[in-house]
């Protein structure tokens, strides 16, 4: 049903005079800077799994590694330290925004 409506809309656009044809096609198919560039950057999969952005978007946070197993031989101080949240510094934040997570994160 949706495809039929889309086809009817497109046929109506094609029947309009040529001066409005280009404008109608531009309105129908949106172009974003990414689409105009012709390529998309890939998000770094490891960074997606490890880092989460803060609500303000100014930094990122992650959990620390080595906290989930082999805890018998670790001291309680070390386990407590590993349970805390790690935050990104300025250099890491810039790197995550530009290269690793170009389209944002959740």
Query: What contacts 41, CB < 8 A, 6 or more positions away?
Result: 102, 103
Q: Note whether 55 and 22 are same-domain residues.
A: no
Query: What contacts 83, CB < 8 A, 6 or more positions away?
Result: 64, 67
Per-residue pLDDT at 80 exceeds 80: yes
Q: Note whether 98 and 61 are same-domain residues.
A: yes
pLDDT value at residue 57 = 80
Say how many domains are in the chain. Answer: 2
For 28-56, the pLDDT digits (tens) are: 665 666 667 777 888 888 888 899 998 88
Query: Domain span at residue 20?
Result: 1-30
In a domain, 92, yes or no: yes
For 89-103, the pLDDT digits (tens) are: 999 999 998 877 777
Q: Note whether 60 and 89 are same-domain residues.
A: yes
* Residue 79's CATH number: 4.10.410.60
In a domain, 37, yes or no: no
Q: Note whether 14 and 65 are same-domain residues.
A: no
């Amino acid at each position: 049903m949706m495809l039929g409506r889309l086809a009817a809309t497109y046929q109506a656009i094609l029947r309009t005079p040529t001066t409005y044809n280009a404008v109608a096609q531009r309105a129908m198919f949106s172009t974003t800077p990414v689409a105009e560039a012709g390529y998309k950057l890939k998000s770094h999969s490891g960074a997606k799994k490890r880092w989460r952005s803060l609500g303000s978007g100014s930094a990122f946070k992650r959990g620390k590694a080595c906290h989930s197993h082999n805890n018998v031989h670790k001291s309680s101080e070390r386990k407590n330290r590993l349970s805390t949240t790690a935050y990104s510094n300025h250099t890491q934040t810039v790197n995550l925004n530009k290269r690793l997570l170009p389209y944002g994160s959740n």
